[in-house]
Homo-oligomer: A and B are copies of this chain.
Amino acid sequence: MSASENNAPTTRADGRAVDQLRNVRVTRGFTTNPAGSVLVEFGDTRVMCTASVSEGVPRFKRDSGEGWLTAEYAMLPSATAERMQREAVKGKVKGRTQEISRLVGRSLRAAVDLRALGENTVNIDCDVLQADGGTRTASITGAYVALADALAVLKKRGVMPGEPLLAPVAAVSVGIVDGVACLDLPYEEDSRADVDMNVVMTEQGRFVEIQGTGENAEFSRDELSVMLDLAEGGLRELTALQRAALAADLGETVTL
């Protein structure tokens, strides 16, 4: 089962070039109760990312001198084209949900120096209000901004021993659709992609996580290389946007 043949920039169903991100928007201060609260939009995908802080750490980190960061991702039942059953009602968190929660947590821990955080805990919540592909990558990208705001709150409280915030971490999806490698897949492309890959990267261009899956077709090392090139381009734009959002006022919407 062969996959991509050529990757010449073509036009996609939504008019974008293959190396073009969707319209990405970041709004800080979306709600006021959590220490950090960000609405992030990748096209029609809309995720509310919050970072809540509490003093103390879970048992396995107690007396380690280090803090902890954990994350939970979830979809509202009405986020998708067809309403999904609510996981709380079912009494079970789906494997997919847990997998993404774990990915978001690992990715954001790459953006925080746990020792400098001291024995404090950050809870990241990424709740998808509307889903159109790329919800996990939007979650990571938005959560970094919420995390930055939350750490600023902890700093003001004077409870942190150091400066835990590291350089931005962002994420984007790439994939091979109709034999062509594309950046930032909406649901319409994602659902029929031969290969789907999520790339999480630091501002310095180092990988935090790569997850590439060939559900309908396997992929060659060359195809991998083309996808990584696309991802790197998109991620440079996204980390610049994260920086811009953090420089803007609360409530202001910053876009690419």
Contacts and interface: CB of A to CB of B under 8 A. Distances in A.
A207 B228 contact: no
Contact of A208 (B97, B98, B197, B218): B218
**Would you call the interface of chain A mostly helix, strand, loop, or mixed?**
mixed
A93 B92 CA distance: 9
A167 to B, nearest CB: 10
A101 B110 contact: no
Interface residues of A, number: 66
A64 to B, nearest CB: 15
A211 B96 CA distance: 15
Copies in the assembly, this chain: 6
A130 B32 contact: yes
Interface in A62-121: 72, 74, 76-81, 83, 86-93, 95-99, 101-102, 106, 109-110
A19 interface: no
A110 B214 CA distance: 8
A140 interface: no
Nearest to A109: B215
A89 to B, nearest CB: 6
A74 B88 contact: yes
Given A32-B130, A52-B83, A207-B220, 13 more contacts: A33-B78, A72-B86, A78-B123, A78-B127, A83-B123, A89-B93, A106-B215, A110-B218, A205-B220, A207-B219, A208-B213, A208-B214, A210-B210
Which 5 pairs of residues, A with B, have the shortest CB-CB distance?
A: A95-B98, A206-B218, A87-B88, A50-B78, A52-B83
Interface of A: 1, 31-34, 37, 44, 46, 48, 50, 52, 54, 72, 74, 76-81, 83, 86-93, 95-99, 101-102, 106, 109-110, 123, 125, 127, 129-131, 197, 201-202, 204-215, 218-221, 224, 228
